[in-house]
């Protein structure tokens, strides 16, 4: 009987938490146990403010409390460990920095509007105002980047425009959304565009250009020089004087007629008379294309004469020099 009383007394002295664990019933966290809080190191927010629950995970109370302003659209802000610790203390959160390197990066969710999209909207507006559809609107600010709220259906619009027809310069007012400050003044110029033939691949010196080597691109007329070739017939069948890069407009001095006779090459010299045709071998002292007059040394007499290139390795001798072929 004394032994049973002793066992019951020891049982009643055990901690309540252990009793719960032993019985397998009512396993709960004690009310005064601190809740575990973790840090969100990278946050993207849609609103203009940053709330406590954006930064700290596991927050129950005060999660909607505003703790900072969000960065501008398309921007980012960084909060260091000291600032984070002060916020945690202010809201009595069970968190403290693990090191001075703890930080949170806040980004503002946004939709990027690039310069090309603005120029397209400007072009559509200008065509409606009677500007040549083949022209192009070019903004003065080539690095322009506009950010709009990510989850909105706001679209850009041109409210008004002033265009100088002689110079092509313009200024315009662009707007979006509904607020009065959601407007921007932009400027630029209108330039006429034209199609020019360019090479699809790099052509080396001496290579012949075929039609399959050509493609068409649209460039501003202001980039054309007086020697730029825009007629494909002036390019196909010609040879490159030097290496020509693809996508670059071709100038007249980039090309030459293909060589049919190379310097030092043995050629056939032909002399035609009303009654006969004479031929002899010679050595080309110059290179030449079809129709060029070049100097030829007769291999039999070593006499130097002028001859006209008529084909590959072939030249024609004029009657005035037929004595050189004897």
Domain with residue 207: its CATH number is: 3.90.1210.10
Q: List Cα–Cα distances, 12 to 9, 15, 17, 138, in angstroms.
A: 5, 8, 12, 87
Q: Single out the residue in 108, 133, 165 at which a domain terminates.
A: 108
pLDDT at 105 over 90: yes
Give the tokens for residue 247: 């996508």
Query: Worst-scoring range by mean pLDDT, 6-20, 155-169, 229-243?
Result: 6-20
Helix (H) or strand (E) holding 8: helix 2-12
Q: Half-sphere exposure (CA, 13 Å, Cβ side) for 290?
A: 7
* Same-domain status, 99 and 124: no
Q: How far apart are CA 182 and CA 175, in angstroms?
A: 6
* Same-domain status, 99 and 151: no
Mean pLDDT (whole number) for 305-315: 92
- Give the whole-number percent of the chain exceeding pLDDT 70: 86
Task: Tell me, yes or no, whether 273 lies in a domain.
Answer: yes
Task: Tell me, yes or no, whether 212 lies in a domain.
Answer: yes
* Same-domain status, 82 and 98: yes
Q: Please give the torsion angle defined by the CA atoms of residues 229, 231, 236 and 241, in that order, rounded to the nearest 10 degrees.
A: -10
Q: Is the pTM of this model over 0.85?
A: no
* Same-domain status, 250 and 288: no
With beta carbons less than 8 A apart as the criterion, state whether 245 and 198 touch: no
Mean pLDDT (whole number) for 112-116: 92
With beta carbons less than 8 A apart as the criterion, state whether 50 and 106 touch: yes
* Same-domain status, 45 and 100: yes
CATH of the domain at 311: 2.30.30.760
Q: Single out the residue in 144, 177, 193 at which a domain terminates.
A: 193
* Same-domain status, 164 and 236: no
Q: What does DSSP assign to residue 258?
A: P
pLDDT for res 165: 84
pLDDT at 3 over 90: no
**Residue numbers of the domain that contains 102:** 38-108
Q: Single out the residue in 62, 84, 108 at which a domain terminates.
A: 108
In degrees and rounded to multiples of 5, residue 221 shows phi and psi of: -60, -30
Mean pLDDT (whole number) for 111-136: 91
Task: Tell me, yes or no, whether 6 lies in a domain.
Answer: no
* Same-domain status, 240 and 292: no
Task: Name the more confident of 76 and 12.
Answer: 76
Task: Tell me, yes or no, whether 14 lies in a domain.
Answer: no
Q: What does DSSP assign to residue 251?
A: B
Task: Tell me, yes or no, whether 4 lies in a domain.
Answer: no
Task: Tell me, yes or no, whether 10 lies in a domain.
Answer: no
* Same-domain status, 238 and 309: no
Q: List Cα–Cα distances, 267 to 1, 29, 295, 324, in angstroms.
A: 136, 105, 11, 15
Task: Tell me, yes or no, whether 31 lies in a domain.
Answer: no
In degrees and rounded to multiples of 5, residue 165 shows phi and psi of: -65, -30
- DSSP characters for 69-135? EPPPTT-EEEEEHHHHHHHHHHTT-S---SSTT-EEEEEE-EEEEEHHHHHHHHHHHHHHTT--TTE
Q: What is the pLDDT of residues 242-283, one digit of tens each?
A: 999 999 899 999 999 888 999 999 999 998 877 888 889 999
What is the total count of domains within the chain?
4
Nearest to 242 by CA among 199, 285, 292, 190: 199
Q: How many residues does the chain have?
A: 326
pLDDT for res 276: 83
Give the tokens for residue 137: 């609107």
Task: Tell me, yes or no, whether 29 lies in a domain.
Answer: no
Q: What is the pLDDT of residues 174-204, one digit of tens each?
A: 988 776 668 889 999 999 889 999 999 999 9
């Amino acid at each position: 009987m004394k032994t049973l009383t002793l066992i019951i007394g020891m049982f009643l002295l055990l901690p309540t938490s252990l009793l719960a664990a032993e019985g397998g019933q009512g396993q709960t966290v004690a009310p005064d146990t601190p809740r575990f809080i973790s840090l969100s190191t990278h946050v993207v927010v849609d609103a203009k403010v940053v709330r406590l629950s954006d930064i700290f995970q596991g927050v129950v109370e005060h999660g909607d409390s505003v703790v900072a302003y969000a960065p501008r659209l398309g921007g980012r802000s960084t909060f260091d460990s000291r600032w984070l610790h002060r916020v945690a203390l202010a809201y009595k959160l069970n968190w403290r920095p693990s090191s001075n390197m703890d930080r949170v990066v806040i980004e503002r969710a946004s939709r990027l509007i690039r310069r090309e999209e603005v120029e397209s909207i400007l072009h559509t507006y200008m065509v409606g105002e009677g500007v040549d559809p083949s022209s192009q609107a070019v903004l003065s600010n080539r690095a322009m980047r506009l950010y709009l709220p990510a989850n909105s259906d706001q679209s850009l619009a041109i409210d008004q425009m002033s265009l100088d027809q002689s110079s092509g310069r313009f200024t315009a007012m662009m707007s979006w959304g509904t607020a009065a400050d959601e407007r921007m003044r932009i400027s630029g110029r209108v330039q006429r565009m034209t199609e020019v033939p360019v090479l699809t691949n790099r052509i080396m010196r001496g290579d012949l250009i075929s039609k399959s080597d050509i493609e068409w691109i649209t460039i501003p007329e202001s980039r054309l020089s007086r020697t730029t070739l825009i007629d494909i017939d002036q390019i196909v069948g010609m040879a490159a004087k030097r290496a020509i890069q693809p996508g670059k407009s071709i100038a007249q001095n980039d090309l030459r007629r293909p060589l049919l006779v190379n310097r030092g090459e043995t050629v056939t010299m032909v002399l035609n008379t009303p009654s006969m045709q004479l031929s002899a071998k010679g050595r080309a002292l110059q290179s030449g294309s079809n129709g060029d007059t070049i100097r030829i040394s007769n291999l039999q007499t070593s006499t130097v004469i002028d001859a006209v290139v008529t084909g590959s390795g072939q030249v024609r001798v004029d009657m005035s020099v037929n004595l050189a072929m004897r």
